[in-house]
Structure 1
Amino acid sequence: MSEFNAFSLLGSIIDRLSLKGYKEPTPIQKECIPILINGNDLLGIAQTGTGKTAAFSLPIINNFARNKIDISAKSTRSLILTPTRELASQIMQNIDDYAEGLALNTKVVYGGVGRQGQVDAIAQGLDILVATPGRLLDLIETGDIHFKALEVFVLDEADTMLDMGFFKDVQNIIAKLPKKRQTLLFSATMPKEIEILAQDILTAPTKVKITPETVTADLVNQNVYHLEKSDKMPLLLNILQTPDYEKVLIFCKTKYGADIIVNELKKASITADSLHSGKTQAVRETVLQHFKEANLRVLVATDVAARGIDVDNITLVINYNLPEDPRNYIHRIGRTARAGKSGMAISFAVENDIRQLTNIENSIGQVIPVVTEQPFHKEFSKASIQVKKLGKNQGKKKVNKTNKNIRSKSLKKSRKK
């Protein structure tokens, strides 16, 4: 018997979960599902890969299927707001899988595609709407949707919304929602802005915190390779000679850089494609599907495009460029440590990356081992190593002291003049 039976979910939902291979709830599902079925507000601290989508969608599906109503035109009973098109699509795909046979009206809306089909679907009235902020605001402004019938609001990846500059849009959308509703807020981290927002929109919420960021880091076998910038591609090709790396996700800084890497990989007869904002939504979905189905061995992505990548059995993550924000490092390597599984991550670091590497190590609370037994190993200067040893805060103090001395010398010179 499935452990999901303990939640009193509809039999058809249990059957769908069994078909998808869900044997037992993840920690966040165990915590959240009973709370949400009872209609309480919830503040969830959890990153992607913890089973979060099922945690919030199963109660919504179950409650709506048990209590069907006539939905008025241009309205929706629930709104799930998420930052990226890829994540919105994947949430919708999972919801449709869980709700098969329950006759619920669902729709996903995002930019980059025609809006008329979205308008027509909303006009019929929806049980569940998954949306990204930009397109939803557009539909609100043109009067193609209202929220008079809204019962449940889910804000997913709240910290990503903040990082991507959507926070004002999110606040504008929330202002349009009815005050009386069930509200769920999920975020991997809790910066001050998110804490304030949570206080404003949640009513007596239950707080659930699952899998701190350091736990994901602990699940991944991490290494860093010191090298010259010109040796990155030769090293990448050398690593990919290992046949065990069957499904590889590479992160780079720019979409231009992603396309260059793909072209070089193709020259080496390695099946690869890129995922970034310079491609249309249809193309991005096709690329992601090919990667899921193992028709591509390598996917090269930028941070923004990679939000929401939910692909099983990624054997290796490579940071071709280190992320500037340490939090993105956790999101990146977590692609290969899904739902408590272990994984492997390799980072390339040139000498100028030492400061970024130190910040990442401080963030995850561990030193990433350096692999010296590799053909392109580069010994960094003593000055760089000293910066790494100083650590984030001490390094700042040293820089500030140096700047202070420079300003003092400049001031003395100006006085002499």
Structure 2
Amino acid sequence: MEALRFHELGLDNRLLKAVADLGWEKPTLIQEKAIPLGIEGKDLLARARTGSGKTAAYSIPIIQNLLESKMTVSEQAVRVLILVPTKELGHQVQQMVRQLTAYCARDIRVADISGQADISAQRPILMEKPDIVVGTPSRVLIHINQKTLCLRESLQALVIDEADLIFSFGFEDDLKTLLCKLPNIYQSYLMSATFNEDVKALKELVLHNPVTLKLEESQLPDSSQLTQYHIQCEEEDKFLLLYTLLKLSLIRGKTLLFVNDVERSYRLKLFLEQFSIPSCVLNSELPVQSRCHIIGQFNKGFYDYIIASDEQALSDSSVKGKKQAGKKKVGKAEKGQDSEYGVSRGIDFQNVSTVLNFDFPLSVDSYIHRAGRTARANNPGVALTFVAHTELSLLKDVEEALGGGSAEACVLHPYRFRMEEVEGFRYRCRDAMRSVTKQAIKEARLKEIKEELLNSEKLKTYFEDNPRDFNLLRHDRPLHPAIVKPHLKNVPDYLIPSSLRSVANTSLKKKKRKRMQPGPSKAPSKKMRKTRDPLKTFKYAKGKKRTDTKKKAES
């Protein structure tokens, strides 16, 4: 049976124009199933893998129903509440809704209150009564208690996005209190990548006679779209391999480098700085405005490499069925870290060509969500994972979960990299690793946090008046708390293995040639060059000059 097109779903013309602008030719499987049911007003419990288009699957029917209700109801009120587990996801959902309402922005307004702005700063936004409010359960509950947000009379639809993370991020009590302050009748959507115990509990609390969409699809795209490799290597070899892959441009395009904690992310950034490889760090210590700005610029192509630490999501994913465990974990979060943070889940990194797991993920779910950052929509992608000998049991768990437990049906193919060919680079990597000390990492963390706080808070008003300058603000500048040795920047030809010379990047050579060219000053004329260069002006004659020299010697 041929898939439906968007124009066959009975959508408003303004919605169809916005969908066309986004370049979507036809709905994904979850969108094709969920949109008609959502327009009918059914409660939905939908499970679909990361990157399958779940946000649009609930946003499109919600906008369609709002446009229809606006034709009969003139009073402005908050009619849709979208709950998200992280601030980054809240920003992303707001952006998606704004794109879909591009041709009806006057009729439908959306506000994101999930960020870290002061409550008082968000009051004027809510006083305008936007049609759609996006926020975390804790922030929404604060506004309801302060009576800056009232939903009991006007709410038509409730969405809980990434429902399997809501409890594990410590929102169980807030959500239960919040549900008591909502009307008795409203349409509900539960969107999740997995059906765990938390989702089942939410189903009992929120849904009434729901339609369950449990799509029969693999957790990751098939091998024709997503290629998965693993390389067995120890700690020092990880750094050596990463240097070789990036410096010789063996990995090309936008790349996400995943590590397991904040300190590792800065260790990796400072290591790459030694070789003049710029990268951004994305972790829970940075202000939410900076994190969203980094993701936005990465999606626009400003940066090639982001080092992401998904430590919060990893710690929570290890909790299975213990509803309070997530909250306790959040309570014990390291000072300065944002408890409502997650990178491996929810965030839409666009056009990522490669996901590189520098540290092996601590759970199967985390591997799936990391690898799901690439090969989204119809784009191809590669997931490359470094595996130490102590992590082989985790690799086995991932293989079994993805259906490749046997050696014949291996999902993560072994990548046969000849380490002996890059042994010449080892001394450079050791030199760089020695420079990245614990003190240098500590200084780098403090320096970046100070800079990002300055960018996101003190300059906020300036950037509102000068949006172009905000777009040019970069997050991949060198931190340089470690000693940087200039000779490590360039790769000598004799070190490049013969088998890699055809694919190695030659841009450094081109830059070198450009520097040797004369500057803006006027070049000397041919006549001047001849007189100045004695080797070019000297002329040897066999006859006359030779006899003249002999006569002078005799006299």
Q: State whether TM-score is above 0.5.
A: yes
| Residue 249 of structure 1, aligned match among 229, 240, 256 | 256
Contact 2:162 2:193 in 1 (8 A): yes
Alpha-carbon distance in structure 2 between the residues aligned to 1:130 and 1:71: 20
Cα deviations by residue, 1:222-272 (Å, 9 ceiling, x for unpaired): 111111112222211112223552100011101121122122223322221
Partner of 2:124: 120
Cα deviations by residue, 1:87-119 (Å, 9 ceiling, x for unpaired): 111111110111123221210111423333322
Partner of 1:79: 81
Change (3 A) 1:17 1:153: same
Letter in 1 for 2:414: V
**SS of residue in 2 equivalent to 1:125:** coil
Relative to the length of structure 1, the TM-score reads: 0.84
Change (3 A) 1:95 1:354: same
Q: Structure 2: any 5+ residue segments left out of the alignment? A: 311-341, 405-409, 422-555
Alpha-carbon distance in structure 1 between the residues aligned to 2:347 and 2:205: 30
1:371 aligns with 2:375: no
**SS of residue in 1 equivalent to 2:377:** helix
Structure with the higher strand share, 1 or 2:
1
| Residue 385 of structure 2, aligned match among 347, 366, 382 | 347
| Residue 237 of structure 1, aligned match among 229, 243, 252 | 243
**SS of residue in 2 equivalent to 1:277:** coil
| Residue 38 of structure 2, aligned match among 36, 39, 42 | 36
Contact 1:225 1:349 in 2 (8 A): yes
Cα deviations by residue, 1:110-155 (Å, 9 ceiling, x for unpaired): 1423333322111221211111223222222322212121110011
Q: Alignment RMSD, CA only? A: 2.0
Change (3 A) 1:223 1:251: same
Contact 1:71 1:125 in 2 (8 A): no
Cα deviations by residue, 1:321-368 (Å, 9 ceiling, x for unpaired): 111121011110011121254311011111111222222222212232
Alpha-carbon distance in structure 1 between the residues aligned to 2:293 and 2:93: 17
Alpha-carbon distance in structure 2 between the residues aligned to 1:217 and 1:146: 46
Partner of 1:139: 143
Partner of 2:363: 325
Q: Structure 1: any 5+ residue segments left out of the alignment? A: 378-417
Alpha-carbon distance in structure 2 between the residues aligned to 1:269 and 1:364: 37
Greater Rg over alpha carbons, structure: 2
Contact 2:245 2:251 in 1 (8 A): no
Change (3 A) 1:352 1:243: closer
Q: Percent same amino acid at aligned positions? A: 30
Alpha-carbon distance in structure 2 between the residues aligned to 1:166 and 1:354: 34
**SS of residue in 1 equivalent to 2:219:** helix
What does 1:11-410 align with in structure 2 at a 5 Å threshold? Answer: 11-68=13-70, 69-71=73-75, 76-102=78-104, 103=106, 104-148=108-152, 149-210=154-215, 212-216=217-221, 218=223, 219-240=225-246, 241-242=248-249, 245-303=252-310, 304-366=342-404, 367=410, 368-375=412-419
Count matched residues. Answer: 374
**SS of residue in 1 equivalent to 2:295:** helix
**SS of residue in 1 equivalent to 2:419:** coil
* TM-aligned CA deviation for residue 213 of structure 1: 4.4
Partner of 1:397: none
Letter in 2 for 1:279: L
**SS of residue in 1 equivalent to 2:191:** strand
Contact 2:18 2:99 in 1 (8 A): yes
Change (3 A) 1:286 1:111: closer
Contact 2:278 2:305 in 1 (8 A): yes
Change (3 A) 1:50 1:150: same
Letter in 2 for 1:364: L
Alpha-carbon distance in structure 1 between the residues aligned to 2:276 and 2:197: 48
Alpha-carbon distance in structure 1 between the residues aligned to 2:209 and 2:202: 14
Letter in 1 for 2:129: G
**SS of residue in 2 equivalent to 1:235:** helix
Contact 1:255 1:276 in 2 (8 A): yes
Partner of 2:462: none
Letter in 2 for 1:343: G
